[in-house]
Structure 1
Amino acid sequence: MTGKTGLSRRGRPATADRGVSIRAVAARAQVSIATVSRVVNGLPNMASPETVARVRAAIAELGYRPSSAGRSLRQRESRLVAVIAANLANPAMTAISASVEVALRSRGLVLALCDSHDQAELQDEYLLEMRAHLVRATVLLGAVASPKLVAMIETGEPLVFVNRRCPGDDDQPFIGIDNRQAGRDAAAFLLAKGIRDVAVAHGHLASSATIDRIAGIGEAFADAGAPVPPERFLTTQGAEHLEIGYRAADHLLAAGRPPAGLICASDMIAFGAHRRLTEAGLAPGAMPRLLGFDDNPLNPWVAPWLSSVRIPYQAYGDAVVRMIDADAPRRIILAHQIVDRSPP
């Protein structure tokens, strides 16, 4: 006989020139297609050990092999775009996520929003989960280095990095401001007001945004002949931004006279610093001039005293939509500006 039709191990017809579908595996294991997808994509902890064993047995019995071509096609047709944010408690990240949602919805796409809490393990879990859902692209709003991220870059998964560049690979698609130049502009803002004695409070140095901001600040003050001493760059490992700011201000108070200016690498750090400085009851002339980054949407309401480097929240959504297109640019640099709320 020259025909290609035979029988499977359980007597069911099998066609040699057609691959076994994920639907067939789900039927054999008596589970949902989503469960099979999770097991195949490395998320066995999302099902019971018995279910995982049943799925793997069905895969082996049927000889199922995921089709990379079929997967790519389904991804291109998917309406789902994932955003994994590092910290949704930060109003700046929430505002960017909202901008992305509006832009995606205008294109008929749907946002799936996750919060990694800046933890590599949680980021990896979400990366795998979103891959199992065949999202069109995954947007990392503040990525951290993690094993699954490296693996997905190597396999060419559609990833977009926002605000922070890809850890360890600057060639990956990026959307954000020029943070180094923003740092220089922040320094120039204070220098123009005659403020040369400053300290800098910042978050962890795994973030390219933080590294670039404080590098730009340091360069500008050094170029002006007023270098910032190394001990004036302040952070608290493992702490949230509010606490980092509070502890930085407390450290400066304990050291004696606070500096004339305190540059905070995020508005949340500035909020914490302002709380501690206010508690200290400093006279108006003794309060350091605070300058933040992000100019989050709450500032006009809760921090009318805070000058800040504004990032263009509304522009991020359209930039993300552009970036997930097939002919997208590899890098989109958005404009920043300094919002001056200095007292008269």
Structure 2
Amino acid sequence: MPRVCGLEVFRLVLPYGRRPESILVRLTDYGGMTGWGEVVDSDPKTWSILQERLAPALIGVDWEHPDELGVVPGGSAADMACWDLWARMRGVPLAHALGGSRTSLMATVRIGAERNLDSLIARVNRHVCAGYAHITMDVHPGWDVEPLRAVRMAYPALGIGLDARGAYTDVEALEALDAYTPSMIERPFTGPGGLADHADLQERVAAPVLLEVGSAVELTEAVAAGAGRALLMRPAALGSLREVRRVHDIAAAAGWEIACAGGQGTGLARAATVAAASLPGCALPCDVAEPPRSAQIVTPPVGVDGGVVAVPLTQPGLGHGIDEDQVRRLAKESHRA
């Protein structure tokens, strides 16, 4: 039975991109076992909540399973740390603790809009040569049919997903892309609220329309509306691994395909995404591209080898060691309770 006797919270500034902030939670059991969690979040409220409310909610509290804790203050970072601690104490990989059955995952790599078609084809070629069998192209009005046609002509057998990032208002414009056999059309319209437009598009195209939702309630509404046939599942955005399983189960029961995606960070949140992607309904290629080495705190790194992501099954919990020296080097602020 886990019983937390201490916790630390770290606020890190990551050395890449727009220098996003990552918050790490480290829980320690009376037996000396630790569990780690992470969320990439620059909202100062998250840091304040973890400082003020996490310790009273967890320290000295007996619990048999993370689901018993309900909504843990601090969101996905604290929830992940509870799951990691529980799985480590049980001696089981987090993937198995969640109900996962996959030992490896096909990966996708995201391709942003390029300056010209030659640059696009060259970039796709680099990833194909690295072993990727699937890519996800960003598309928007003015950069869609022509680049998709060029990639399809160059690589007839390549899996090509399309991420519209909510840039479209015209169903007909997206319908034209279906002629080039995309594997999915992701986030075609802004937000899940325009379910009628999503349903209209899904009726017109053979490719699954891939929706991203923020809760099981939103997914249930989308399924009822026939607003797609596939789900983009981001564990960090769903707030807890319990909600991840609920969303997975709803989508799988409806016959929807599922793709998992991670976020920026140090590798911890991506490790949890890999565990979630091992669930049986997550058959679509996952997006867990390796973060820069300068930001990695996990060993072995979470990354892709030959277009495939291995699910760590030989070690309990998240399945990765933590470089605590690197954590403290990157930490902008820390709190101990």
Q: TM-score, normalised by structure 1?
A: 0.28
Choose 1 or 2 for highest CA Rg.
1
Q: TM-score, normalised by structure 2?
A: 0.28
Q: Give 1 or 2: higher helix fraction.
A: 1
